[in-house]
Amino acid sequence: MKRFTILIVFLFFCASGTAQKMPANLLDSIAIAGNNGTYPNLEGVTITQRGKLVFETYLHGLRKGSLHDTRSAFKSITALLIGIAIDKGFIKNVHQKVYPFFPEYKPYGNWASLKDSMTIEHLLEMKSGFDCEEWDGSKDCEDDMENTQDWIKFCLDLPLKNKPGTKWDYTSINAMLLGGIIAHASHRSVSEFADQYLFKPLGITQYRWTKDPLGHETTAGSFYISPGDMNKIGQVVLNDGVFNGKRVVSGKWVKRMTEGRIKIEDFSNVQISRNKTAIPQPTYYGYAWYTEEIKTDHWKHTVVFASGNGGQYIMVIKDLDLVVTFTGNSYNSAKSKLPFDILVKYILPHFAKK
């Protein structure tokens, strides 16, 4: 009778679907949590370790291979392209001045002599000095830029608020000008440059750019690519500039690019995610890549990552040989930081225990 009762209970759970929801491991819990409303805006997750795909899930209409807007995570890809341009000799170094790349736009609007001191490094570090600030939303210049014909001209003509190199103010204007520098220095469009020197070596063939009315590609965001191909970008960073045994960008550049030198005051992604386990640590900024230590009472790992509005992330955890990508639609919401909760609850414990 006892065996019969156990059998009935087992069949009940199977029929109700409860048995099917039992995760085989921590990673399987991600898809379950994504479908049961815990992470309602999560759309895709890919995880590779040592270049091999170990987990992927697609939710809420996103499919494998679907193109997704990277939003500002593309700024980090732009930083990679700058490194490649330096490696190839198109750009001398990050200390080159910005405005000499654009002589055709003279006379520049709102000219101030301090603009002469603005360098490529200032753009990479979000220290251009332009009177724009998207981080706290106090002065978002991107919307105004998108209503003009020539986005490069708009950026160059903006007034300064601070001396270049002195203050961290996050703005898409900087990344847009980096794309213009790549195009002018290489004598080809940014899309042609990226296709030849980054995407083709990685086997990335499906993507979509956003352009201004004159055809300038934006390198600040609005670039569409699949989560799997986002992961390939992360693998380049993980392997110090190498993909599948071939050098894409110098290791020296990757190291410099991902060094967290600028502390973002009063900001922690883990804290915003409201994870109860991790101890919030500050977020740092390098050349368009972020760094944050994920720390609990039992372990800690440093995460280097690209970040875009809505929950778009390329995360690199070097000591575990991991690359993790997230895509989502939590735009302009604190829920965009929930991937850090997923990282702490499911991903890092799964690999750290092995």
pLDDT digits (tens, 9 = 90+) for 230-289: 999 999 999 999 999 999 999 999 999 999 999 999 999 999 999 999 999 999 999 999
pLDDT for residue 71 is more than 80: yes
Domain ranges of the chain: 27-66+228-352, 73-225
Q: Report pLDDT for 24.
A: 66
- Compute the average pLDDT of residues 76-104: 98
The Cα 111–Cα 158 span in angstroms is 8
pLDDT for residue 5 is more than 60: no
195-211 pLDDT per residue, tens = 999 999 999 999 999 99
Q: Report pLDDT for 227.
A: 97
The Cα 281–Cα 186 span in angstroms is 40
The residue among 72, 69, 62 whose CA lies nearest residue 225 is: 69
DSSP 8-state secondary structure symbol assigned to residue 277: S
The residue among 270, 292, 321 whose CA lies nearest residue 49 is: 321
CB 212 within 8 A of CB 205: no
CATH architecture of 73-225: 3-Layer(aba) Sandwich (3.40)
The pair of structure tokens assigned to 55 is: 């987990």
Q: What fold does the segment set 27-66+228-352 form as a domain?
A: Beta-lactamase (3.40.710)
DSSP 8-state secondary structure symbol assigned to residue 232: H
16-67 pLDDT per residue, tens = 343 445 566 899 999 999 999 899 899 999 999 999 999 999 998 899 999 9
Q: Identical fold at 27-66+228-352 and 73-225?
A: yes
- Which position has the token pair 């690209």? 306
The Cα 179–Cα 177 span in angstroms is 5
